[in-house]
Structure 1
Amino acid sequence: MLYPELFKSLEQVRWNMDKDIPWDKFDASLLTDEQAQTIRMNAITEWSALPATEMFLRDNRGDSDFSAFMSVWFFEEQKHSLVLMEYLRRFRPDMCPTEEELHNVRFEFDPAPPLETLMLHFCGEIRLNHWYRCAADWHTEPVIKQIYKIISQDEARHGGAYLRYMKKALNEVGDKARAAFAKIGVLMASARRTEKPLHPTNLHVNQALFPNDTVQSRLPDPEWLERWLDNQIKFDGEWEKKVVDRILHNMSLLFERTFSNVQELNRYRKEVTQRILPSGAAAA
Structure 2
Amino acid sequence: MLYPELFKSLEQVRWNMDTDIPWEQYDASRLTPEQAQTIKMNAITEWSALPATEMFLRDNRDDSDFSAFMSIWFFEEQKHSLVLMEYLRRFHPELVPTEAELDQVRFEFDPAPRLETLMLHFCGEIRLNHWYRCASEWHTEPVIKHIYKIISQDEARHGGAYLRYMKKSLAEVGDVARAAFSKIGVLMASARRTEKPLHPTNLHVNQSLFPNDTVQSRLPDPDWLERWLDGQIRFDGVWEKKVVDRILHNMSLLFERSFETVQDLNRYRKEVTQRLSAAGQAAL
Q: Shared topology, TM-score over 0.5?
A: yes
Does residue 46 of structure 1 match 2:46? yes
User: Residue 281 of structure 1: CA displacement?
Assistant: 6.0
* Distance in 2 separating the partners of 1:280 and 1:64: 29
* Distance in 1 separating the partners of 2:276 and 2:63: 23
Structure 1 vs Structure 2 CA RMSD: 0.9
User: Residue 96 of structure 1: CA displacement?
Assistant: 0.6
Task: Determine the structure 1 residue equivalent to 2:78.
Answer: 78
Task: Determine the structure 2 residue equivalent to 1:166.
Answer: 166
User: Residue 83 of structure 1: CA displacement?
Assistant: 0.0
Task: Determine the structure 1 residue equivalent to 2:157.
Answer: 157
User: Residue 261 of structure 1: CA displacement?
Assistant: 0.2
Task: Determine the structure 1 residue equivalent to 2:110.
Answer: 110
* Distance in 2 separating the partners of 1:258 and 1:280: 27
Deviations 1:29-66 (A, max 9, x none): 00110000000000000000000000000000010000
Deviations 1:81-117 (A, max 9, x none): 0000000000000111000000100000000000000
* Distance in 2 separating the partners of 1:273 and 1:251: 16
* Distance in 1 separating the partners of 2:279 and 2:56: 33
* Distance in 1 separating the partners of 2:58 and 2:275: 30
Deviations 1:219-252 (A, max 9, x none): 0000000000000000000000000000000000
Write out aligned runs for 1:205-220 (5 A): 205-220=205-220
Task: Determine the structure 2 residue equivalent to 1:5.
Answer: 5
Cα 1:280/1:144, change in 2 over 3 Å: closer
* Distance in 1 separating the partners of 2:113 and 2:209: 20
* Distance in 2 separating the partners of 1:45 and 1:98: 13
After TM superposition, the score normalised by the length of structure 1 is 0.98
After TM superposition, the score normalised by the length of structure 2 is 0.98
Does residue 20 of structure 1 match 2:20? yes
Task: Determine the structure 2 residue equivalent to 1:68.
Answer: 68
* Distance in 2 separating the partners of 1:83 and 1:273: 43
Cα 1:170/1:22, change in 2 over 3 Å: same
Aligned residues: 282
Does residue 130 of structure 1 match 2:130? yes
Does residue 235 of structure 1 match 2:231? no
Task: Determine the structure 2 residue equivalent to 1:90.
Answer: 90
Task: Determine the structure 2 residue equivalent to 1:225.
Answer: 225
* Distance in 2 separating the partners of 1:99 and 1:80: 16
* Distance in 1 separating the partners of 2:45 and 2:224: 11
* Distance in 1 separating the partners of 2:42 and 2:146: 15
Task: Determine the structure 2 residue equivalent to 1:178.
Answer: 178
Amino acid paired to 2:103: H
The structure 1 segments of at least 4 consecutive aligned residues displaced by more than 3 Å after TM superposition are 278-282
User: Residue 279 of structure 1: CA displacement?
Assistant: 5.5
For the residue of structure 2 that corresponds to 1:9, the secondary structure is helix
* Distance in 2 separating the partners of 1:277 and 1:33: 56
Deviates more, 1:270-279 or 1:63-72: 270-279
* Distance in 1 separating the partners of 2:12 and 2:22: 20
Task: Determine the structure 2 residue equivalent to 1:148.
Answer: 148
For the residue of structure 2 that corresponds to 1:277, the secondary structure is helix
Cα 1:26/1:280, change in 2 over 3 Å: closer
Amino acid paired to 1:41: M
For the residue of structure 1 that corresponds to 2:214, the secondary structure is coil
Does residue 255 of structure 1 match 2:251? no
User: Which stretches in structure 1 are left out of the alignment for 5+ residues?
Assistant: none
User: Which stretches in structure 2 are left out of the alignment for 5+ residues?
Assistant: none
Amino acid paired to 1:111: P
Deviations 1:93-144 (A, max 9, x none): 0111000000100000000000000000000000000000000000000000
